[in-house]
Amino acid sequence: MRKVKMNVQGRVQGVGFRYTTKMVADRLGIYGTVKNEEDGSVTIEAAGEDKQVESFIKEIKDSPSPAGRVTYLDLQDNPWMDARTSFDVIY
């Protein structure tokens, strides 16, 4: 089980980024959260099997939203992430 925290920057707010991130997470069996930040970035916490998390990270880097564009992604392993049973959009 791998747990990561990402801060994503670029055109990631107002383009359906959180919604499409949840779609990708649900398809890959990833648990966690996605939320907008006041600085215009998006924070994602994700947990799953190593291979699934790697696939998830790749899809986030490529922007799951067709109208979005990721220009920077800060990725950190986060072993202290709370256990979750779903992937949720935080408003």
Tens of pLDDT along 36-87? 999 999 999 999 999 999 999 999 999 999 999 999 999 999 999 998 999 9
pLDDT of residue 15: 98
- Concerning whether 2 is annotated as a catalytic residue, the answer is no
Question: Using one digit for the tens of pLDDT, what is the confidence trace for 8-22?
Answer: 999 999 999 999 999
CB 33 within 8 A of CB 90: yes
pLDDT of residue 10: 98
Q: Exactly one of 36, 69, 78, 84 is catalytic; which is it?
A: 36
The DSSP result for 65-81, as a single string, is STT-EEEEEEEEE-TTP
CB 19 within 8 A of CB 81: no
What is this structure's pTM?
A: 0.96
Residue 4 binned pLDDT confidence (cut-offs 50, 70, 90):
very high
- Concerning whether 27 is annotated as a catalytic residue, the answer is no
